[in-house]
Structure formats: structure tokens, C-alpha cells
Amino acid sequence: MRGFHLIQLIIMLLLGSQTLFARIVISGTVTDKSGEPLPAIVSVLVGRSVKGFGNADENGKYSISFSTDADSVTVKASIMGFSSSLKTVPSQTRQLDFIMEESDILLKEVSVVAEKITQKGDTLNFRVGAYKDENDRVIGDVIKKMPGLEVSDNGSISFNGKTIKNFYVEDMDLLQGRYGIATNNISANDVASIQVYQNHQPVRALKDWSPSEDVTINLKLKSSAKGVFTMTGMGGIGYKPMLWAGEATGMYFGKKGQSITTYKGNNSGDNVAAEQENLTGDGGLQFFNQAPLGVVSPGTPGVKQKRYMRNRSNAVSTSNILKLDSLSTLSVSLSYIDDILSNEGSSVTEQYLPDGAYRTMSQTVETKSYVHKLSGGAVYKKNTDRIYAVNRLDVNASWNKCDGINSLTTDFSSINQVVNQHLDNPSFSISDKADLIFNSGANAWNLSFGAGWNHRPQKLSVSPASILSDKPENDVVSQNYTSDDFRGQAEIGYFMKFGQLTIKTFIFGNVDIESVKSDLDGLDLSDFNAVNRYSFGKAEGGGEARIGYPIKNSYFEVTLPISYNGQWLRDKKAAGRNREWNYLCFNPAVKYTYRLGKSWCGLNASYYKIRDNSDRAQSGVVMTDYLTFRESFVDHTLVDKSLYVTAEYHYSNAMAQLFANASASWRRSSCNTMVGYEYDGIATVKYALEHPYVSNRYGASVNVSKGMDFWESTLKLTGNCSLYKSMQLINSQPVDYKSQYWSANLVYSAMPATWMGMALGAAYGENKSFTEVNKDAAMSGRQCTGRLDLNFFPVKRLILNVAFEENYTNLTEAGRHTWFGDARITYKAGRFDWELEANNIFNRKVFSRVNYTDMNIYRSTYRLRPFNVMLKVRFNVF
Amino acid sequence: MKKLIKLLFITIVAISGIDCHAQRKDTDAKISHYNISRCRDRKSIGDASIRILYAFNAENIRDKSTWIDEGQLKIGRGITQYSSHFEEVNEDSVAIWLNTHSKSSAWPPARWLRGHRPDHWIEYQYSNIHIIDNTLEEYATMPRAIETDNLKYSETLPLQEWSISDETEEICGYSCQKAICHWRGRDYVAWFAADIPVSAGPWKFGGLPGLIMKIADSTNTYSWEATEVKNGTFPIYKPRGDKYKESTREKVQELQRKLNENYFKTTGTEVIQYKTGQLLTSRKHPYSQLELE
């Protein structure tokens, strides 16, 4: 050891150290304010460099010997629980005492190996910074790149195969299911982490009663985003045609309350209404009254709406939540959408005939929809361990219209006609739901009530009438269809525990009355009844027992509902048709879950036998669009017996950023009534006939998602397949048919360098519908999509984004491949972000898509927005 | 002359950061079976207000799967604890799992452990060190087969005799100053942060006028580097004393050495290979204990 010190001395001498200078000794005592000695550590610093140090002994005494050429030194005494004390003194031997003041040390927090995902129990924390690049503006952009999290086209989020049930911001349910407002507006820079609550039971009073497989997402905000009101805006202009866009968003996230208010408007094709949709399905009462009338228009093409929709959209919404106390909240929301959506294109419909041939109808289509929708809601919620009370009021009003101009030709007639359509499609609904749960630990009570009304007066006008009849009565054929639905539901539950066994019992009563008035004017329908005036009601009352039993890591639950179901028809035109039907119903279900560590699996089986007379209520013909008429020839009760079985497996390893799930399902349905199509000229008459048949639907899906440290990348793979075997009536002949479908999907996002990010998406799908007759001749529809996004950040303020997209479809003669290109340059200057974007760089004019529905094939061609350029400026107001 | 060469070697290693032959978990010793009662009955003996995480024997500081352990130093008033953070995260997860599945009589076989070969035992991960005043207590948890032979001992807080140099380096966001020492048979280079006025460090190291952020012995067999500094309230869990037999440092370290060198022989677990019918013996493991004296 002595030798070791000698070497140190030699090294110091070699380094020309300060040992050449005289030794200085600083000594003294360290005490607290009351004079108690402190065993502090005392060090001598020259600048920031420690030259000597020593520990104070139990009497608080210290002594430090050192050498220096500096004129003065700083002596620092420090100990946990006290603030460091510094004294600068001349470099000479001296006495120096310290009196320390109590204080907690607050260190500069640093983490050099921060985890991307951390797990605590069932909660996963996805660190936003680990997945975000410069190109990500709102939090929805980052969620898409996180392994295990999927964002569907409509904006709904799922985690490892489970669609999320709740979306919170700082553990508050601000948006009540309309969480697209959060994902599309909250800045990615304001969110610290995305928390995923697995097996989340949002009702505290039910925590010990119902294990849950539900998933909730919570946005954990950065402290800088909390308690401050922020307002951001966007304005943009472009060409061609003349384009404009504007946005304004105000947000506040405080401890006592939260608020988001947004305005979005544009005529550049961006869908501003989508984010207002309730994505968790826990809105007001569901109404089942029909609004069957529509304008003939091609379905959605499968490319972004921005590519084909001509619009003029305005949407404003406000969502607010106020914490009344630590466990009670009041939420109020209001939104208004004013949209004009125009769509142009053409379609070819191939209708299958029983002999294996197809008949073809070709149309050019121009539609213009006017959407006005006002929605409001208020929710009061008290959520304690003993009491859960919630009341939800929802009011929706819309006054929508749609105009359509179609030009029709067929291969089975000489028709070549322009058809004008106009649809008035207003709607009003109001509903209120209340739930009360009282949990005393040993047992619990549950009371639920709900009531609502939905009014839908539709009117469809078609001209010229000659297209539908050789003997038209007017120039215009008009169909009125007004339906009113009144619903009421009540339920009382009592929960008991016997050891590990839980038994939940319910008594329930539901009533649903639909009142319909319909008239078809302008056609000579002497052979048919064209008027409907009736009300059809359903009421049920019964009891349900739900028995749950946990065995080790398994949970077994059986549900045994038994009810008495009454249905009645009151025909106001023909009192002779008035009838009543009464049934005893038993629809059992079983559920089994097994949970172990990183995996869980579930098995569900349910059986139900539905008896429904609503189809026989409507005796008159209804024109649902100018090509389709609906008529019921049924005079018997529809009986549908279904068995539905699902199996699912989920694996989640947060540390390895690996998430996987697989599911399989089988639904066997045995029904005594078959839906059929009769072709009468251009019209398709959809009707129901008594003809028993069995259908089977098999489905399977696999999802794997993995985050990797290599290039900070995320890989998501999805596979789906399904087979549907069923029967259809075509021109009165029953035809067995099969529909099969499979698809595979890949998404890869990565940050190969600090100056670059990328995302690659590829999807392939194949579907085919066929009968025994045309099994070999039937064509498979094959569709393929690929998209590559490249983002470059050459300097901190500049972002360059280029995207290429290829769409392939095999069943079109021309335009099988459609290439799209988009580019954007963003320059950040202080509080302003300037964006110059170019859309549809290759100036594609049309896009084709082929769809199968049952046995029919639809080929649609959409006219696209031309190449256009937009300049936008985004800014923070405060 | 030998010492001079050794010192120069320390300097070269410290400067170049060469990873010579870091101690891997290459013993046959596996971690003990679940200690459910330890997770369920954990009781905090106090709170720390600062926590520092260290990468222990990391091949790549950015990749936790290359670390042997993530050590944690919790510092509270009058108490300092060094233990495994990997193990604490696992125990937290088990505790939460047991809490949310209170009716379950089984538990997940998979653990929430990580690092290089997370199911393997090494004494530097499965030891808890508590320092109160001038006394150091070590609770040594033994591997599978002898998990009932857990041992504890106490000793006077060992103090390293440090020499400080003017060299500085930034580690985990803090400017650190270099210090060297020779302790219990090994030469060490440490980097301490004077801005963190805590005279502590990983394992049993301390006594510098600032927190030790990085330390490695001259052969780089043992190394720690700080990866996180955090303020907060961190409960300090002390193992249940009655589950650990009283012993001495010498005896504990002797047993640990033998476990590393020949696990099967030391634990008396004779395993006959199914295919050969031969007695399974531990492979020869190059092993060099941290405290050589």
C-alpha cells in the first residue's frame, strides 16, 4: 500500500502538480442551527475542481490538508437533508465553521437509458419521446407507431386486439368516447406518455365484482401542458380549384377541469366530421328504427377521402369536464357540423343470376350531400368504491339532404336515362340513461333506467317517373317514410358473494315501439299496396343470473337470462292485421378466461333464439332507392337460432416491446326466413320468404407487433381470413354460395437517422364469392396497396415529407395500378409553422375499386381531385 | 514497478473505455424460486428522496439486455441502500399481480426480470446493502437449492482511500471528477459528481465529496455507470431479518465464491444426465470475486 501512495506521489510530480506548493490546512466544525454536530462532508474547490476533502467526525470536526497556487478557495460542506453551504476564503491555513440549514436536496433529473415501455401491474407506459419524430404533430401520429397499438381508418384505437373502451386525458373522461378530438388536436409535444390500462374496470364499485378484459387509454401530459390555457390556429390557401382551410383550437387541462374547443373548416377534402364520432359506443341509447331511403351512390373507394371528395366543411365542437369533488365529475359537450360533400364517378354493377351468368347495370353518378348535425350531451358521474352514479343525457338533431344525378344503361334493356334523386333525411333523437350501483362489500345493488325517442321523417324523390313505370302518374316518384322509435329500459340487480362465487341477479324490463308511416306516390301500383301505417312494439320482462367463479388463474362465468317477450302489430289501415305474439326466451352464454403472466386467453360461447315479427308488419312496398324496392311476403315469425363461439389469445411483453394476439370465431345461424332478390327490369325487389337455411361464418385473425431498438423501429403484421357459407334467393331460386376472404397487412415505421424518419405500409387482400355453378368461372378480387412515407429533417427547423402510394386492383380493364404522390415542406419559425403541401403530384384523374356483396360485383370509378398545392400556417396564439 | 504498470493500465482502461472481460452470469446458479411472501409482505422501513440507477457490467449502456443488473442506490435521511432495481421491478409487479389477483393460489411462472440471462444468479444482484450511520449490513440471497440458507452480516462501513485528480468527464448529464483507489485487492477508477453532495456510490463504494457516477476496477471485471438520477419518494424495503442467518463477511463471500465456481457441488444437488447417466458437474467458470481481501 505504501508503495502505491509513493507511485501516486510520483505521478503527481510527473504531472507537475500542486504538491510543490505549501500545504494548507482548513479545519473547523459543522453544526446545524441548534449547534448539534453534523457528520458532513467538506470539500475544498478551486473553480469546480475538488482539491481536497474530508469527513466531519461525530463531533462535527473536520480538517482538510491540501495544496494550491490559487489565491482563494471555496470550501463546501454538504450532507443529506441540509442545503450545501459554500464559503470562499483566501488560500491559507485557517479555522472555518459551518452552520447548516435544513433543506431537501433537489437534483437535476437525468435519464440516459429511458425505457420506451414500462409496465407496472396491468398498466403500460409508452414514452412518447421514444416514438416521436419531428414529423409527428398531434398525438394520434405517434400512437400509430407504438407497438401493440392500432389506429383504424375511422380513428378508433385498439390495443393488442382489443378495442379500447375508454379514453382519458389525465385520468378524466373529457371526451366521452369522441376521442378523435384528442388524438387529432392534442400536440404530441404536450404528452409525456400514453398509458394503457389493461383489464381496466372503470367502475370502482365493481372492482371486486367483475374482472374486466377492457382496455383504457390515458394521456399523461407533461407538466408544462397542465394548468395553462393554450390556443392554436391554422390558416391555409391553395389551388386548384381555389382551396382554403382554417382551424382554431383552445385547450385547458387543469386539476379541477378540462376543456377542448375546436373549429375546423376546409374545402380541400379533409374530413372534419370524423373526429366527432363516438368511438367507444357508450353514447346514448341505441335506436333501431329504420331509415331505409337513400340516393344511389358508389361506396367508399378505399383511398383517403382527401383524394376524391369535393367538400365545403365546417365543424365546431366544445368538450368540457368539471371535477365537482375528487370522485365526481360533470361533462358537457356540444358540436355542430355543416358539410357539403360532392362525389363524382361511375359504377358497374354485375348482378348474379341463378344460371351462373351476370346482368350488368352501368351508371355515372354525381351526388351532393348537405349535412347539418347538432349534437349535445351532459354526463354526471360519481365514481367511489361504494357508490357509482351516472346520468347521461344525449340530444342529436340533423337536417341532411342529398341530391343525386345518375345516368343509367344496362346490358339487358335499351334504357339510357338520366335519373334525378333528392332525399330529405332529417333526424331528431333524445335519450337519457341513469345507472346507480351501491356496493357494500358483501353485496351490491344496481339500478339502471333509460328512455329515449328517435324521429326520422325521410322523403325520396325520383324523376323522371318513366324510368320506373310505363304508366307514371306524375313526373316525379316520391317515397315518404317516417319512423318514430320510443324506447324504455329498466333493470334492477342484486349481487351476492358466497366465498369465491359471485352471483349477480337482475330483473329487467324493456319496451321498444316503432311507428311507421310510408307512402309511395307517382306510380301506378294497382297490384301493390304502396302505403304503410302501423306501429310495431316489443316488450320483454325477465330475470337473469350471472354466476362467476375464479379458479386459480381462471375465471368462469355463465349467464342465464330468461324472459317473456311480447310483440304486437297495430295496423292503422287494416285493423284486421292486428296481432300479438308472446314467447318465452332463454339465451345463455358462457365465458372463460385464463390469465397467466404475460398471456391471457378467452373462450366465449353464446346461444340465442330470436323470434321477430317486424318484417311482417310492413305490408306495403317501399322504394329504398330508385333501383331497389322492398316488400315483405312473410306471414310467419322469423326465427333465427344462432350459436356464436369465439376464442382469443393475447400475449404482451412490454420489456421486449412484443405484442401478439390471435382470435378465431364461428357463428352458426339457422333461420327460417330467407332474403331474396327479384329482378324486375332495372329494379331489384328485395323480399323475404319462408325458406329455412343454415349459414356458417368462420373467421380468424393474427396480429403481431414488435418495437425494435434497431433504427428505433416498429413492425406490425396482421392477417385475416374468413369463410361464409350461406344461401340466397335469386329470382325465387335458392342458391348456395360461399364468400371467402383473406388479407395480410404490414406496417413498418423507423428512424434510420436523426435526420430521417420513414413509414412503409403494404396490404394485400383477396376475396371471392361463388356458387357451385360458377365455382371455376368466378373471379377473385385482388387488391393491393403500398405506401412509403419518407421524412427528412436536414436542419432542426425544416421537415421534408414525400409519400408514394400504389393501389392495385385486378378486376378492372383499365387503371389497375394507380400511383399517388404527395409532398410537404414544413418550416418552423418561432411560433409559426409554415407548410407547403402538394397533393396528387402525378395528377391521377380517376380511381377504380371492385367490391363483392353477397354474389354481386360492384366496380366503381371515382373522379379524383386534381393535382393541388396548399400553403398553410400553423401558429400558437398563446 | 508492477504497481506503476498497473496504475498506467488503469489510466489507459479508463481513458479508452475498453471492455476487457466483464463478469458475465456464466455460473450454473439459477435464481431461487418465487418468494411470494417476500413480495406480499414487503414493508418499507423508510423513504429515500433520491434514487440513482446504475448499469452493472453493461456491454452496451444503451441496451439493458446486455447488462448483468440495474443497480439502484436509494438515499434517504440517515440511510442508504444499494440493491437490484431489476429485482425490485419484478417484486413490484408480483406484488401488484398478487394484489389484483388476491383470490389466486398460483402465480405467473414468467417473471418481470431482465438483463443478460435474467434467470441466473449472481451475488452482486441478489444482495441488499444497507448503510446506517457507520454500519454496513449485507443481506445475501442465495440461489436455487439453497434459498433457505440466506445469510446476513454487518461490518463497519469500509472507507476507500481516494486520490483525486483534475480530470473531468460528463456522465449522465453531470460533470464528474476522477478519483482512484485501491480497495480489498483491486484498483478502481471512479468518477464522482461534486454537484450531487452525497458521499455514496454503488455497492459499498463511497467516501468521495460527491456521488460516484461511474466506477470500474482495473480489469473491468466489475463496473457501474449511472443511467438515471431522480428525485422523489422511494420506499426502502429491508429483507425480513428472520429469513437470513447471521454470518460474517468472510463466510458469506466464501460461499458465494464456491457457488460461482461449482454450483452443483456446493449446493449438493447432484444431477444425473438423462442421456449419458453421468453426474452433472459444473463447468469450470473463470471467476474472480470483487472483494479479494
Task: Give tens-digit pLDDT for B194-245.
Answer: 888 888 999 999 999 899 999 999 999 999 999 999 998 999 998 887 789 9
With an 8 Å Cβ cutoff, are B231 and A598 in contact?
A: no
With an 8 Å Cβ cutoff, are B210 and A550 in contact?
A: no
The pLDDT score that the predictor gives to residue B18 is 40
CA of B104 vs chain A CAs: smallest distance (Å) = 5
Share of chain A above pLDDT 70, in %: 96
The pLDDT score that the predictor gives to residue B13 is 41
Interval A93-131: pLDDT, tens: 999 999 998 887 778 888 777 778 888 778 899 999 889
Strands in A20-138 per DSSP E:
23-32, 41-46, 49-55, 61-67, 72-78, 82-83, 85-90, 94-95, 98-102, 110-111, 117-120, 123-127
Q: Rounded CA gap, B82 and B74, in Å?
A: 6
Which residue in A403, A379, A406 sits closest to A390, CA to CA? Answer: A379
With an 8 Å Cβ cutoff, are B96 and A120 in contact?
A: yes
CA-CA-CA-CA torsion sign (B238, B241, B247, B251):
negative
DSSP string, B62-123: T-GGG-SEEEEEEEETTEEEEEEHHHHHHHHHHHHHHHHTTT-S---SS-S--SSSTTB--T
Q: Which of A201-210, A451-460, B215-224, B277-286 has the lowest mean pLDDT?
A: B277-286
**DSSP 8-state assignment for residue A298:** -
For residue A19, pLDDT beyond 50: no
For residue A839, pLDDT beyond 50: yes
Question: What CATH number did the domain enclosing A49 receive?
Answer: 2.60.40.1120
Give the bridge partners for A237, in sequence order: A244, A871
With an 8 Å Cβ cutoff, are A121 and B196 in contact?
A: no
Report the 10 Å Cβ neighbour count for A505: 16
Orientation of helix A2-14 relative to helix B2-16, angle to 10°: 60
Average pLDDT, stretch A384-391? 94
Tell me, yes or no, whether A223 lies in a domain. no
Cα distances (Å, whole numbers) of residue A659 to A152, A604, A745: 17, 22, 16
CA of A94 vs chain B CAs: smallest distance (Å) = 20
The pLDDT score that the predictor gives to residue A741 is 93
Share of chain B above pLDDT 70, in %: 82
Which of A68, A102, A136 lies at the terminal end of a domain, its last residue?
A102
**DSSP 8-state assignment for residue A54:** E
Q: Which of A170-184, A225-239, A471-485 has the lowest mean pLDDT?
A: A471-485
Task: Find which of B231, B236, B293 to mutate to test the A interface (most A CBs within 10 Å of its CB).
Answer: B231
Q: Which residue of chain B has the CA closest to A104? A: B49
Q: Which residue of chain A has the CA closest to B1? A: A7
Interval A313-366: pLDDT, tens: 999 999 999 999 989 999 999 999 999 999 888 888 888 787 777 888 888 989
| Mean pLDDT, chain A, integer | 89
With an 8 Å Cβ cutoff, are A553 and B63 in contact?
A: no
Tell me, yes or no, whether A179 lies in a domain. no
CB B109 within 8 A of CB A597: yes
Q: Which residues of B touch A49 (CB under 8 A)?
A: 166, 168, 177
Q: Which residue of chain B has the CA closest to A3? A: B3
With an 8 Å Cβ cutoff, are B172 and A655 in contact?
A: no
DSSP reduced 3-state for A385: coil
Q: Which residues of B touch A119 (CB under 8 A)?
A: 93, 112
Tell me, yes or no, whether A216 lies in a domain. no
Task: Find which of A110, A127, A208, A500 to mutate to test the B interface (most B CBs within 10 Å of its CB).
Answer: A110
The pLDDT score that the predictor gives to residue B21 is 46
Could you give the residue ranges of the DSSP H alpha helices within A152-253?
180-185
Q: Confidence class of residue A740 from pLDDT cuts 50, 70 and 90?
A: very high
The pLDDT score that the predictor gives to residue B7 is 46
Decide which of A209 and B181 is more confident: B181
With an 8 Å Cβ cutoff, are B114 and A655 in contact?
A: yes
Q: Confidence class of residue B1 from pLDDT cuts 50, 70 and 90?
A: very low
Tell me, yes or no, whether A168 lies in a domain. no
Task: Find which of B52, B228, B234 to mutate to test the A interface (most A CBs within 10 Å of its CB).
Answer: B228
Interval A427-477: pLDDT, tens: 999 999 999 999 988 899 999 999 999 999 999 999 888 877 777 667 889
With an 8 Å Cβ cutoff, are B64 and A48 in contact?
A: no
With an 8 Å Cβ cutoff, are A120 and B174 in contact?
A: no
Q: Does A223 touch chain B (CB under 8 A)?
A: no
Q: Confidence class of residue A551 from pLDDT cuts 50, 70 and 90?
A: confident
CB neighbour burial string for A431-452, b if at least 16 within 10 angstroms, e if fewer:
bbbbbbbebeeeebebebebbb
CA A621 to chain centre: 38
Q: Does A102 touch chain B (CB under 8 A)?
A: no
Interval B115-138: pLDDT, tens: 888 888 999 999 999 999 889 999
The pLDDT score that the predictor gives to residue A124 is 92
The pLDDT score that the predictor gives to residue B103 is 62
Q: Does B185 touch chain A (CB under 8 A)?
A: no
For residue A15, pLDDT beyond 50: no
With an 8 Å Cβ cutoff, are A1 and B110 in contact?
A: no
Domain count, chain A: 2
User: Which residue from B75, B195, B208 is facing A80, i.e. has the nearest CB?
Assistant: B75
The pLDDT score that the predictor gives to residue A857 is 80
ipTM of the complex, rounded to two decimals: 0.80
Which residue in A684, A700, A693, A778 sits closest to A739, CA to CA? Answer: A778
Q: Does B34 touch chain A (CB under 8 A)?
A: no
User: Which residue from B103, B104, B197 is facing A105, i.e. has the nearest CB?
Assistant: B197
Tell me, yes or no, whether A538 lies in a domain. yes
CB neighbour burial string for A733-759, b if at least 16 within 10 angstroms, e if fewer:
eebebbbbbebebebbbbbeeeebbbb
Q: Which residues of A touch B109 (CB under 8 A)?
A: 596-597
Cα distances (Å, whole numbers) of residue A878 to A222, A225, A233, A250, B182: 17, 12, 10, 9, 58
Q: Rounded CA gap, A134 and A828, in Å?
A: 11
CA of B204 vs chain A CAs: smallest distance (Å) = 17
Interval A537-548: pLDDT, tens: 999 999 999 999
Average pLDDT, stretch A201-227? 89
Q: Which residue of chain B has the CA closest to A8? A: B163
Q: Confidence class of residue B104 from pLDDT cuts 50, 70 and 90?
A: low
The pLDDT score that the predictor gives to residue B109 is 59
Tell me the count of A-B CB pairs closer than 8 A. Answer: 135
Q: ω into residue A241 within 30 of 0, thus cis?
A: yes
The pLDDT score that the predictor gives to residue A634 is 67
Average pLDDT, stretch B30-59? 84
Task: Find which of B52, B64, B104, B234 to mutate to test the A interface (most A CBs within 10 Å of its CB).
Answer: B104
For residue A240, pLDDT beyond 90: no
Residue for grid cell 386548384? A240
With an 8 Å Cβ cutoff, are B50 and A105 in contact?
A: yes
For residue A166, pLDDT beyond 90: yes
Which cell goes with A231?
390556443
Task: Give the Cα-Cα-Cα angle A57, A61, A67 (nearest 5 degrees).
Answer: 105
Question: What CATH number did the domain enclosing A344 receive?
Answer: 2.40.170
CA of B90 vs chain A CAs: smallest distance (Å) = 9
Q: Which of A238-247, A674-683, B255-264 has the lowest mean pLDDT?
A: A674-683
CA of B262 vs chain A CAs: smallest distance (Å) = 32
Task: Find which of B59, B163, B211 to mutate to test the A interface (most A CBs within 10 Å of its CB).
Answer: B163
Q: Rounded CA gap, A391 and A509, in Å?
A: 19
The pLDDT score that the predictor gives to residue A718 is 96
The pLDDT score that the predictor gives to residue B288 is 87
For residue A139, pLDDT beyond 60: yes
Tell me, yes or no, whether A849 lies in a domain. yes
Q: Does B154 touch chain A (CB under 8 A)?
A: no
Q: Which residues of A touch B108 (CB under 8 A)?
A: 553, 596-598
Q: Which residues of A touch B173 (CB under 8 A)?
A: 108, 110, 112
Interval A248-283: pLDDT, tens: 999 999 999 999 999 999 999 999 998 988 888 776
- Which residues of chain A from 652 to 671 reach within 8 Å of chain B, CB to CB? 655
Average pLDDT, stretch B64-69? 88
The pLDDT score that the predictor gives to residue A21 is 61
Q: Does A14 touch chain B (CB under 8 A)?
A: no
The pLDDT score that the predictor gives to residue A289 is 80
User: How many residues does this entry show for chain A?
Assistant: 878
Share of chain A above pLDDT 90, in %: 54
Q: Which residues of B touch A597 (CB under 8 A)?
A: 108-110
Which of A35, A69, A102 lies at the terminal end of a domain, its last residue?
A102
Tell me, yes or no, whether A311 lies in a domain. yes
Average pLDDT, stretch B171-180? 93
Q: Does B94 touch chain A (CB under 8 A)?
A: no
Q: Which residues of B touch A500 (CB under 8 A)?
A: 103
One-letter amino acid for residue A786 of the chain: G
Average pLDDT, stretch A4-27? 58
Average pLDDT, stretch B174-189? 94
CA B56 to chain centre: 7
Provide the domain limits for residue A41. 2-102
Q: Does B169 touch chain A (CB under 8 A)?
A: no
Report the 10 Å Cβ neighbour count for A319: 25
Q: Does A9 touch chain B (CB under 8 A)?
A: no
Q: Which of A655-669, B21-35, B245-259 has the lowest mean pLDDT?
A: B21-35
Tell me, yes or no, whether A872 lies in a domain. yes
Q: Which of A435-439, A492-496, B79-83, B277-281 has the lowest mean pLDDT?
A: B277-281
Q: Does B280 touch chain A (CB under 8 A)?
A: no
Average pLDDT, stretch A780-807? 92
Average pLDDT, stretch A605-614? 92
Q: Rounded CA gap, A746 and A763, in Å?
A: 6
Q: Which residues of A touch B172 (CB under 8 A)?
A: 110, 112
The pLDDT score that the predictor gives to residue A357 is 79
Interval A146-165: pLDDT, tens: 999 998 888 899 999 999 99
CA of A564 vs chain B CAs: smallest distance (Å) = 37
Q: Does B117 touch chain A (CB under 8 A)?
A: no
Q: Which residues of A touch B106 (CB under 8 A)?
A: 552-553, 596
CB A735 within 8 A of CB A353: no
Residues 6+ apart with CB under 8 A from B275: none
Which of A60, A82, A102 lies at the terminal end of a domain, its last residue?
A102
CB A74 within 8 A of CB A45: yes
Which residue in A842, A838, A860, A794 sits closest to A236, CA to CA? Answer: A838
Report the 10 Å Cβ neighbour count for A533: 16
- Which residues of chain A from 686 to 725 reach within 8 Å of chain B, CB to CB? 709
With an 8 Å Cβ cutoff, are A45 and B194 in contact?
A: yes
